[in-house]
Amino acid sequence: MNHAAKGSPFRLLGAAPHRLPFLTGVFNLLMLPLWWLARLADAHWFPLGLPQDDALHATLHGPVTVYALFMPFILGFLATVFPRWMGLDDLPSRRFLPAAIPMMLGSLLLAAALWSDQLALLNAALALMLAGWGIGAVLLASVLLAHCKSTRKPHWHGLSALAGWLLALAGLALLLVFTAGEWAPGRAASILLGTHGLTAAIFVTVCHRMIPFFADNVVAGYVSWRPYWLLGLFWPLLLADIVATHCGSPLRGLIAAAMTLLLLMMLWRWTPRRPVPGLLMVLLWGFAWAPVSFLLAALATVAPVPPIAAIHALLLGMGASLLVAMVTRVTQGHSGRPLTMPAVAWLAFGAVQTAALARLGAALSFEHPLLLLIAALLLALGALPWALRGGAIYLGPRKDGRSG
């Protein structure tokens, strides 16, 4: 075995860019639904005696979940694939740990803040996570700059992902302004920028890069199709949707409808017309939630469909589905395991689908408490085996004895 592959679990967390962020991510994936489940049960069914000092659950479940659930996973994923997309060497620990460590510390502090209902702890947690995300932005920008200097060409996937990252950075800063400075508009703005930056922009960019590439390698006769003009159409529509939503413009319905058609075209062209491996199937299924989300957003402007339905289709439907798909692929490939969907990944993916449907049902039935409880319970229990397996992998050596 390579000596670099050995060592304590703490040393191994610095062996590859995905290890510490993914471990942080699976911690948050378990902690956040369990916290929300406890709050729902405490409020509607049986008192648990949870702290009620600062009433954090009332206003912060949405925005905190947007950022804490996705940021660690996206940090680990992009820190891993960014250099590979651009033909550069993998990042050494001295470059990625300065972003990963504040994210991890912030997540631990966030758990303490939510379960103790302490606003001061929450502000400190968000500040740490903001620092980690900001350092991550500098890291990705430096990789992108190195590529541009060496090739004298732009890297459109890198630029698009970094733009989504910066939207999320602004959104997280606004969330901290809301919690620390009591600036009420910051909450809605943080959700808007988080959903559009973290989930829509970054995940659509990754799918544009990943799905045709993956399908071309595993499906016989597949013709890869990922013209950059798709991103050229996607970004103006995304920015217009942010502005229209923020301003309450009646044009929001038309913009969302146009985005729905664009995403449906991507899905149609990317989907092979023959059986596909499980890892590709879940990528396609996860991406299929994107047009559903924008269709719900368009319908909300002309029909009695609550806007929160579109948000949860994007976050829980698309975001959490693609999270399971992408993280499983990196976890399998970068631990010396086959590029297949293990049983616990299928369980987690199925739990996400049913939780998303339950959450949409709650949105369409005036936030029915039982459906909210079912959604949280499905996510917490369904993701548990997948998260525990992943945590053990991130703390252990690769199966093939290689470093990383």
Residue 161 has pLDDT above 80, yes or no: yes
Higher-confidence position of 319 and 7: 319
User: What residues does each domain of the chain span?
Assistant: 3-394
- Mean pLDDT, residues 387-398 taken together: 95
**Helices 19-44 and 369-394: angle between axes, nearest 10 degrees:** 160
Higher-confidence position of 111 and 42: 111
In the block, residue with structure tokens 């060409």: 153
What is the separation of C-alpha 64 from the centre of its chain, rounded to a whole number of angstroms? 13
Percent above pLDDT 90 for the chain: 89
Residue 94: CB atoms within 10 A of its CB come to 8
Residue 321 has pLDDT above 80, yes or no: yes
3-state DSSP assignment of residue 369: helix
Check if the beta carbon of residue 324 is closer than 8 Å to that of residue 348: yes
Residue 217 has pLDDT above 50, yes or no: yes
**How far apart are the two ends of the chain, measured CA to CA in Å?**
12
2 confidence band (pLDDT: 50, 70, 90): very low
User: What does the H/E/C string look like for 80-126?
Assistant: HHHHHHCCCCCCCHHHHHHHHHHHHHHHHHHHHHHHHCCHHHHHHHH
Higher-confidence position of 171 and 7: 171
Check if the beta carbon of residue 90 is closer than 8 Å to that of residue 83: yes
**Predicted pLDDT of residue 153:** 93
3-state DSSP assignment of residue 359: helix
Handedness of CA 286, 291, 297, 303 (dihedral sign): negative
- Mean pLDDT, residues 172-185 taken together: 94
Residue 231 has pLDDT above 70, yes or no: yes
**Predicted pLDDT of residue 44:** 86
What is the separation of C-alpha 181 from the centre of its chain, rounded to a whole number of angstroms? 27
11 confidence band (pLDDT: 50, 70, 90): confident
Task: Name 333's Cβ contacts closer than 8 Å, sequence gap at least 6.
Answer: 339
Residue 48 has pLDDT above 90, yes or no: no
* Tokens (6 digits) for 203: 């995940």
- Shortest CA distance to 190 belongs to which of 169, 175, 179? 175
8 confidence band (pLDDT: 50, 70, 90): confident
Read off the pLDDT of residues 97-153 as tens digits, 9 standing for 90 and up: 999 999 999 999 999 999 999 999 999 999 999 999 999 999 999 999 999 999 999
- Mean pLDDT, residues 209-226 taken together: 95
Q: Indicate the pTM of the whole model.
A: 0.96
Check if the beta carbon of residue 287 is closer than 8 Å to that of residue 215: no
1 confidence band (pLDDT: 50, 70, 90): very low
Backbone angles phi, psi at 161, to 5 degrees: -65, -40
Q: What angle do CA 108, 114, 119 make, to 5 degrees?
A: 100
Read off the pLDDT of residues 220-230 as tens digits, 9 standing for 90 and up: 999 999 999 99
**Predicted pLDDT of residue 76:** 98
- Shortest CA distance to 395 belongs to which of 51, 22, 4? 22
Distance between CA 50 and CA 40 in Å, rounded? Answer: 11
Residue 3 has pLDDT above 80, yes or no: no
Residue 346 has pLDDT above 70, yes or no: yes
- Mean pLDDT, residues 52-60 taken together: 80
Task: Name 96's Cβ contacts closer than 8 Å, sequence gap at least 6.
Answer: 17, 79, 139
**Predicted pLDDT of residue 49:** 85
Distance between CA 106 and CA 270 in Å, rounded? Answer: 38
CA atoms within 13 A on the CB side of 2: 12
**Predicted pLDDT of residue 189:** 97
The CATH number of the structural domain formed by 3-394 is: 1.20.210.10
Residue 117 gets the label, from left (phi > 0), alpha (psi -120 to 50) or beta, of left
Q: pLDDT averaged over the chain? A: 94
Task: Determine the length of the chain.
Answer: 404
SS3 content of the chain, % helix, strand, coil (to 5): 80, 0, 20
The CA distances from residue 346 to 173, 265, 351, 375, in Å, are 35, 27, 8, 17
